[in-house]
Amino acid sequence: MTDHFEQDEQTDRPEPEHPARVRSFVRRGRLSSLTRDRMELLGPSRALPEGPFDPPAAFGRVAPVVLEIGCGHGHAAIAYAAAHPEHDLVAMDVHTPGLARMLADAEEAGVPNLRVEVGDAVLFLQERVADDTFDAIHLFFPDPWRKKKHTKRRFVSPTNLDLLARVLRPGGHMLIATDQDFYAAHVLAEVAQHPRFEASRAPRPAWRPSDGFEAKGLVAGRTITELRLDLVG
């Protein structure tokens, strides 16, 4: 989830709005010299090659591939990569300072199976990802967009579920975690109307750290809901 960011000294250059769709995020934050240094020094070795996403070319091997959407500072992504060295993981976010911090932490953790992509996950999936690419997709503590007028901005929507169903391999799944009951209900309602997914409550992944938004939610007395969406049909 990337809706609260620290402020530094140089503003990100705004991106043009993509026509005919509603974004599920707001780009915020500024680039410090530390962030720029980390991106320049550590980014190239973990960046995806330009053009269509080719997992063997990106990771140098054939392995199950996972995508984490809205990875924030990357705690969950790094933990997954460390716990599943036989899998490859792409971590995506629009917040450059958070990704820069993740690059530094990933370097310290020594996880060769992690790649980083800065940008809009929907456009990435629409324009660069072929059918049946990912074995799993993770969406942990996304922006819930609690106001009724912002419901259309929530990531889990009929259009995005269609897109996820296309890029997931047969038998693939999606893991979602949220500390907002209304968002969990929203996901279950959307999935109930979608022909390609079945939703169920899931145990909390043992590998996922409990810091960040999960910890804040627990301190605030909120319940963490874990959902698994299985691709069917």
Quick one: residue 55, left, alpha or beta (phi over 0 = left, psi -120 to 50 = alpha)?
A: alpha
Residue 105 is a catalytic residue: no
10 Å CB burial of residue 57 (0-12, 13-18, 19+) is exposed
Q: Coil, strand, or helix at residue 104? A: helix
CB atoms within 10 A of CB 68: 24
Residues 136, 66: Cα–Cα separation, whole Å = 5
Catalytic residue among 143, 181, 211, 230: 143
Q: Coil, strand, or helix at residue 20? A: coil
Within its chain, how far is the Cα of 77 from the centroid? 9
- Pairing outcome for strands 197-201 and 134-140: unpaired
Q: Which two tokens stand for residue 72?
A: 């924030």
Contact 161, 191 (CB under 8 A): yes
Closest CA to 162 of 190, 141, 135: 190
Closest CA to 128 of 178, 90, 156, 100: 90
206 secondary structure, DSSP code: T
Catalytic residues: 143
